[in-house]
Amino acid sequence: MNKDPYYKKAKREGYPSRAVYKLIEIDDRFRIFQKKSRVLDLGASPGSWSQLALERTNGLVVAVDLALLKIEGVKFVQEDINLEETRKKVKEKFGYFDLIMCDAAPKLSGISSVDQARDMELCNSAFLFAEAMLKGGGDMVIKAFQGEGFKEFFDSIRFRFRVCKCFSPKASKKHSSEMYIVAKGFT
């Protein structure tokens, strides 16, 4: 039985995963959700972030993931976020977004250098979505593993936003190398 208090709380409150509490902390601190916002959730499975985005914005929420996702009120695109064709498809169908968020993680191999490289690929893919579909003044939240390439990635995106911060939510596991990049005010 899972003894993690965030896991238990998520199940009690009807969320698919504990990751929702990380996003709640991010929103409470940085105010990323606005009423009627258009939100794109990349690597959305199992759906907690999409569910919370819909609750907090009551706007359009589009989720993209390889795994099938069914959340009432959320539009779903079952595609690979690393592919240019996916970006084109999402842009053609839904246009521009106020917020793009990505809590995706690579399939872990157990080889840290390989896992870090795969994570940086996901982060770069999320940023390509932002460059293609984020409205001027829009916001972005991306989970990234701290390690090789993290600083370079952060430096490459921070010049495209008025504010760009690293944030580690209390809901993250203590031993985790994950860090959330919260970027506000896309230019």
Task: Take residue 175 and report the two structure tokens written for it.
Answer: 């031993």
Q: What is the DSSP letter of 17?
A: S
Interior angle at CA 136, CA 131 and CA 139, nearest 5: 75
Please tell me the distance from the alpha carbon of residue 125 to that of residue 131, in angstroms, as a whole number. 10
| Phi then psi dihedrals of residue 79, to 5 deg | -150, 170
Q: Choose the catalytic residue: 143, 165, 170, 174.
A: 143
Q: Which residues have a Cβ under 8 Å from the Cβ of 110 and sit 6 or more positions away?
A: none
Name which of 55, 24, 50, 25 is nearest 39 in CA terms.
50
Task: State whether the Cα torsion 117-119-125-130 is positive or negative.
Answer: negative
Q: What is the DSSP letter of 149?
A: T
Q: Is 165 a catalytic residue?
A: no
Name which of 101, 93, 103 is nearest 54 in CA terms.
101
Residues known to be catalytic: 143
